[in-house]
Amino acid sequence: MIAVFGRSPLGFWSLRLESPPVLPKLGFWDSGSDKRTGLSVGVVTPVRSKGFWSVVAMERLQMACVNEKVYNVGDLGKDGSDLVEKSTNGHVTVSGRTVSQLATIGNSTNIMWHGCPVDKVERQKLLKQKGCVIWITGLSGSGKSSVACALSQSLYSRGKLSYILDGDNVRHGLNRDLSFKAEDRAENIRRVGEVAKLFADAGLICIASLISPYRRDRDACRALVPEGSFIEVFMDVPLQVCEARDPKGLYKLARAGKIQGFTGIHDPYEPPLNCEV
C-alpha cells in the first residue's frame, strides 16, 4: 500500500490510498462536530486530533473489505480508533462489535447478516454449558454411532444438552438429494459442518458421527467454529475388524461389486494427524 499524506487549507489531514483494491464508501465520526463524515473511495479525510487513522488501520480495513460490497458499515468509532478485525459471513467485526454489510456469499447476492442481542454467551449461560462440536470419524463399522449415542446418554445424565448428527440420519432429510459420488460426499460433510456450527452457536454440544474420510473436509468443518470448540475423535479400528463386524452388510455388498466407491474398499480413508481423541 502507498499512502500519501497532505494538509488542506482548513488544517485537515488527508490520507490517500494509491494501491488497489480501493475502499468502498464508508463513514466515520468527526470528533469535532460529532457528525458522521463520508469516506470517499480511496481517500480518507479524518480530523486533526483523535480522528487520525494510521496506515495500519486503513490497511486492515481495506483487507477486510476486499471482494465484499460494503455500503453502510455504520459507526466506526467517534475517535477513529476502531479497527476492522475480520469480515466473514456477510458481517464485519469492528473492535469486538458486529456491524452489517451487504455481501455476496457463494451464489447468494445482496445479503446482510442480521445480528441479535441474545448471542452465544447468553445462550450458554441459559443452558449452563459451552457449545462445541465433537466430530467422530472412522471407517464404517468402527463404532462411531454407538459411541455417539453412549456419549449423548452420559451427557444427558449429567444435565447437559447434546444433539447427534449421524451420517445416515442426515441423509434421510437434509442431505437426501446427495449421492455417494465424490463431490456429493464433500457437500454432505460441508452441510453437516455448517449445521454443527449452528448447534454449537446455540449452546448445544453437537456430536457429528460420520465416516468423513478426507482430512481437507474435516479441517474445513473445524475452521467453521472458534478455536478449541472442535473436538475430533478418531475411531482407530482396523479395516479387518470393521469388515468382520459389518453391522449393515455394506462390506459384503462392496466386495460383491454391488456398492461402488466404498471407503476402505474402493476409496481411501485418511486418518487424522492431530485429533484431540
Q: Is 81 a catalytic residue?
A: no
The CA distance from 49 to 80, in Å, is: 10
Beta pairing partners, 39: 26
The CA distance from 263 to 217, in Å, is: 15
Cell numbers given for 215: 482430512
**Residue 237 class from Cβ within 10 Å (0-12 exposed, 13-18 middle, 19+ buried)?**
middle
Which is catalytic among the residues 87, 152, 162, 212?
Answer: 212
Catalytic residues: 212
